[in-house]
Amino acid sequence: MTTTILLRDVVESDLPIFFEQQLDPIANEMAAFPARDREAFMTHWAKIMADESNILKAILYGDQVAGNIVSWEHDGEREIGYWLGREFWGKGIATRALALLLEQVTMRPLYAYVARHNLASQRVLQKCGFTIMREEIEEVILILRV
Ligand SMILES: CC(C)(COP(=O)(O)OP(=O)(O)OC[C@H]1O[C@@H](n2cnc3c(N)ncnc32)[C@H](O)[C@@H]1OP(=O)(O)O)[C@@H](O)C(=O)NCCC(=O)NCCS
């Protein structure tokens, strides 16, 4: 049986799960993004949850919280990002979650900044229609135009 993948708005009880998921050194290396300590993490999420222009979704895999997928505005550009707990990798969950987000977030263009070595994330974006807009020394910027 296929496990259902759904998005729903982030609630406070998701935060301890996201906190643990972002403490993973392998994920930190993959995303080229350092882990935050608990205080910094909770302060960051309190701030982004208070801003109504942010779209903050938990990714549900059956009844489990597999990770989060988010969209925010930065310098007039709408960006997206996502993070899954390692036990959920390799099952197509990020691709499905991004496809669902793209149905709900209709603003275009959308941008994603990805570490050059993060080929899995680049692949997820390309499977959902993003194309490479620019390559910099450490990151690749992908865009979804329509
Ligand atoms: C990146 C991440 C979201 C991917 O999630 P996922 O659910 O495993 O992704 P999917 O299974 O939907 O798709 C991954 C794709 O990348 C491919 N892939 C995985 N590792 C790869 C590699 N080293 N090189 C090339 N492709 C790779 C997979 O084969 C798959 O493509 P396919 O469907 O064509 O076979 C997840 O690993 C994660 O949360 N990492 C830590 C945080 C992070 O990097 N976030 C993104 C920041 S931009």
* pTM for the full predicted model: 0.98
What would the pLDDT profile of 86-101 be if each residue is shown by its tens digit?
999 999 999 999 999 9
In this structure, what DSSP letter does residue 3 have? P
What percent of the chain is modeled with pLDDT above 70? 100
Considering the chain, what percentage of its residues have pLDDT values greater than 90?
A: 99
Residue from 124, 130, 139 to probe ligand 1 pocket by mutation (most atoms less than 8 Å from CB): 124
Q: What is the mean pLDDT of residues 19-31?
A: 98
**How confident is the prediction for the chain on average, in pLDDT?**
98
- Centre of ligand 1 from the C-alpha of residue 24, in Å: 15
Pocket test for ligand 1, best of 121, 136, 138 (most atoms within 8 A of CB): 121
Give the binding-site residues of ligand 1, using a 6 Å CB cut-off. 27, 30-31, 67, 81-84, 89-95, 114, 118-121, 123-124
Average of pLDDT values for 93-112?
Answer: 97
What is the per-residue pLDDT for 59? 99
Taking a C-beta distance cutoff of 8 angstroms, is the pair 73, 53 a contact? Answer: yes
Which two three-digit tokens encode residue 127?
Answer: 């499977």
For residue 16, what is the enclosing H or E element?
A: helix 15-21
Mean pLDDT of 26-33: 98
Is residue 55 over pLDDT 90?
yes
Q: Which atom of ligand 1 is nearest to the CA of 124?
A: 13
